[in-house]
Chains A and B, each alone.
Chain A
Amino acid sequence: MCLGIPVKITKVEGNRGEGEIGGIKRDVDLTLVRGVVAGDYVILHAGFAIEKVDEEEAKETLRLLREISGMSEGEN
C-alpha cells in the first residue's frame, strides 16, 4: 500500500500539479512537498506527491551499484 511511482511533473499551479507516467497524464497534489517545479520527478502515492526525487543522489546510487557489481564506467 506504500507503493509510490516516480512521476515527472509537467505543470504546477499552486498546490495542484500535473504529471506524466509513460505518456499518461495524472493529477498530482503537491500540498505535502515544497518547491516542486515543472521538470521535477516526485514520488506519487495515493494522489499526492510525498517527496521529490533527487537527481544527483540517483546518479550517485547508479554509480555505486555499478561499482559494487564490478562493472566498469563505460560498460553498458
Chain B
Amino acid sequence: MIHVDEYRDARVAEGLVREIAGVMGGTSSVTFMEVCGTHTMCAARYGIRSLLPDNVRLISGPGCPVCVTPNSYIDRAIAISREEDCTLVTFGDMFRVPGSTSSLSKEKSKGADIRVVYSAKESLDIARANPGRTVVFLGIGFETTAPTVAATILAARNLGLENWFVLSGHKTIPEVMEMLAGSPELKVDGFICPGHVSAVIGSESYERIARECGVPCVVGGFEPTDMLQAIWMLVRQHREEQSVVENQYKRVVGTKGNREALSTMIRVFEPGDSVWRGIGTVGHSGLSIREEFSELDAGKNIDVEVEEPIEAAGCICGEILKGLRTPRDCLLFGEDCTPADPKGACMVSSEGTCAAWYKHGNYEDAKLGR
C-alpha cells in the first residue's frame, strides 16, 4: 500500500534503533508516552519496546477514546437503548465496553435496537429509513473524529431530520496532555503526539506543553519507522536538553492543522469540562453541542434514568490510562479479563493498552522491570 509499506522497511528500522541507542549511550533513563491508541497498537504489533535501549521506557497514554469514556456515559447510552422507541447507533469499538452493570452488546442480545456503523453519516440513513423511531448516535472520539460528527450534525440539520440525535462524549487531547505533563507521579520526558488528532488541530497546539510545561513533543506517524523516528527526535531533544514541538508526520500534519475540519468542529461544538475514566474531570477537554444545535442534542432531549456508576472491582484501567501502571500489574489481565470477556475498557478496544498487549505478546515485560 502506498504511503504505508515504505515506512515498514526493516533496514531503516534497524538503523534508527542503532541511532537511538547511540544517542542514549551513557545518559540517564527517559520515559516517553505514546499518547494515541493507534501508536499503542503500532508499538505492540512491531515490538517497538523490545527494540529500544534499556534506558528508554515507552508508556501508553489516554489516547483510546473508548477506554477513557466513563461509565456514566456508557450507562446513559444503555439507558437510552432500553427505551422502547429508540434505536442506538454506535461505532464498533463502543459495542462491547462494559458499563456499570451491562454493555450495549448485552442489551442487544436482550432485544435492544443497536446498530454498529463505520461512519456517523450512516446513522442519518437509519433515521430516514425509520421515521417512527428516535435514532441516537453515540459521538465518541477525539479531534480526529469530532469534525466528522460535526459535519453529520450539519447534514442532519440540512435534511431537517427530527428523529436523529447525538450523545456527545467527544474529548480533546492537548488539555489532558497538559495535565499529565504536570503530573509529579508520572514524570514524562516526552510525548509522541497523536498524528491524526494533530492533522486536525495542527502541531502548534502542543507549543504550551513543550515550552511552558517543559515536556518535548513530537508529532508522529503510525508506521513503525515513523514511530522510531519520532523516538529518535525525542532522544535528541533529551540529549540537547531542548523542549520544543517537532513534527515527524509532515506528510499529513501541518503547523495549523486542517482549518476546514477545525472550523466545522468549532461551529457545532464548544469546549466544556469532561470526565475521563481513571483521570477524573479535565477542564475544557470535552466537546458539548452548542446551544444553536440543541434540538439535536440527545443529552438535552432524551430524558432517561441512569444508574449510579460503579467501577469493576480490581480493574486498574484508570492507572494504565495515566501511564502509571501496565497491564502486567493487573491481577485480572489475561485471566479474568480477556478480549473475549473484558472487565475493563482497555481490554475491549483493539487499541486499548490491555488488548494490544494481550494480542501481541509479552516481549516488553523485561523493559518494564518485570
Chain A residues packing against B (C-beta within 8 Å): 1-6, 8, 21-22, 29, 31-34, 41, 43, 45-48, 50-51, 53-55, 57-58, 60-62, 64-66, 68-71
Contact = CB atoms under 8 A, between A and B. Distances in A.
A45 B144 contact: yes
Given A6-B2, A61-B229, 6 more contacts: A32-B148, A32-B258, A48-B147, A48-B148, A51-B199, A69-B11
Contacts of B351: 1, 3
Nearest to B229: A65
Interface in B239-258: 248-253, 258
Contacts of A43: 196, 199, 252
A41 B334 CA distance: 40
A40 B249 CA distance: 17
A46 to B, nearest CB: 5
B103 interface: no
Interface string B26-56: 0000000000111000000000000000000
Contacts of A32: 147-148, 151, 258, 260-261, 264
Nearest to B351: A1
Contacts, number: 150
Given A1-B93, A2-B196, A69-B19, A33 B148 contact: no
Interface residues of B, number: 61
A41 B2 contact: yes
A68 B19 contact: yes
A26 B148 CA distance: 16
A69 B17 CA distance: 8
B15 A1 contact: no
Contacts of A69: 11-16, 18-19
14 contacts: A1-B141, A2-B144, A2-B196, A31-B264, A43-B252, A46-B118, A51-B261, A53-B3, A61-B248, A61-B250, A61-B251, A65-B9, A69-B11, A70-B19
